[in-house]
Amino acid sequence: MSLIIREIKVKKALSKSGLPEYDYALNPYLGCQHGCVYCYARDFTSGEPATRWGEVVYVKVNLIEVLSNEVKGVRRGIVGLSTITDPYQPIESKYKLSRGALGILCDSGFHVSVQTKSALVLRDIDLLRQCGGMVDVGLTITTMRDVFKLIEPNTQAPLVRAMTIRKLARAGVKTWIFLGPIIPGINDSRLDYEPIIRLAKETNSQLIIDRFRPRKTAVGLIKSKLGVNPIPTTDWWRRTISELSQLCSSYGVNCITEEDEWRSRRRDGSILDYLHD
Ligand code: SF4
């Protein structure tokens, strides 16, 4: 399936983030080539990139110009790059919008929190190092097994993502790993997540864990494409989080759930807080 790219112009670069851990969201693209089956972002996107998720991507070609002006009059804060698209999906190698935005934001005193599934982020390692304590980079890894191909068909393999986080950590960039969504019957076994916990230990990365959040489109796709009912039950999640918690403790890894993060707005909580609710 070939990708359709449409170049658009925007009036604003930063938007108020719906995620409590960020003050702003910056999404250089609408739509995402990675086309993950479970993706929630399509529900927060409108028009063609949403209805043809993974096939059509809009590129905000004047983003850098708009952002350069906008930062002059905006209160400093934490910017999520990105929240409804992958900022380092393959077309970023051509447009370099994430690179441009990262440079402007760091230079202007914003903290940038990058989240991606792509090794392309390593292209910007020079900038990430320059940003120093004003940047952190998260790699999403849902499993280390080949089952990733079923749920993330157009992404780089988990081993490539693991190599990416190792290189970032070695370069002194603050890293974290997003282990989510964990989907019942797909990536909820110890074989899926123990190697990710070991990787978090090796790279001194915080591990943020989240379960699948049932949304109509994603549930329908997973049921029809994979023949699995992905709706989490409370018992399933308690069992899963309990095993994860034990593994995190035994490896000495700082693990938190997405709920912890929402509550604390800081990434220094503990997964155990969730179990003690
Ligand atoms: S990489 Fe993220 S934004 Fe892109 S399709 Fe996958 S889950 Fe959605």
Strand partners, 81: 114
- Candidate from 27-31, 72-76, 209-213, 272-276 with smallest mean pLDDT: 272-276
In 3D space, the residue among 235, 231, 241 whose CA is nearest the CA of residue 274 turns out to be 241
d(CA 246, ligand 1 centre) in Å: 29
Give the CA distances from residue 88 to residues 77, 81, 85, 102, 161, in Å, rounded to whole numbers and listed in that order.
22, 10, 9, 12, 12
Instruction: For residue 264, name the pLDDT band (cuts at 50, 70, 90).
Output: low
Q: Which tokens belong to 234? A: 């409370």
Residue pLDDT, tens place only, 80-92? 999 999 999 999 9
Which domains occur in the chain, in start order?
4-275 (3.20.20.70)
Is any ligand 1 atom within 6 A of the Cβ of residue 82?
A: no
- pLDDT at residue 89, rounded to an integer: 98
C-alpha–C-alpha distance, residues 123 and 215, integer Å: 34
Angle at 9 between CA 50 and CA 60, to 5 degrees: 55
pLDDT for 263: 56
Instruction: For residue 173, count other CB atoms closer than 10 A to its CB.
Output: 21
- Give the dihedral of Cα atoms 215, 263, 257, 155; nearest 10 deg: 50
Give the closest residue (by CA) to ligand 1 atom 7: 39
Mutate to test the pocket of ligand 1, among 117, 121, 151, 183 (most ligand atoms within 8 A of CB): 117
Q: Is the CB of 92 under 6 A from ligand 1?
A: no
Assess whether the C-beta atom of 165 lies below 6 angstroms from ligand 1. Answer: no
In the predicted model, what is the mean pLDDT of the chain?
A: 93
Q: How far apart are the CA of 68 and the centre of ligand 1, in A?
A: 26
Q: Are 60 and 10 in contact (CB under 8 A)?
A: yes
Q: How far is CA 161 from CA 26, 62, 233, 264, in A?
A: 22, 30, 29, 27
Instruction: Tell me, in angstroms, the distance from the centre of ligand 1 to residue 187's CA.
Output: 17
What's the pLDDT tens digit per position in 177-236?
A: 999 999 999 999 999 999 999 999 999 999 999 999 999 999 999 999 999 999 999 999
Q: Is 192 in the pocket of ligand 1 (CB under 6 A)?
A: no
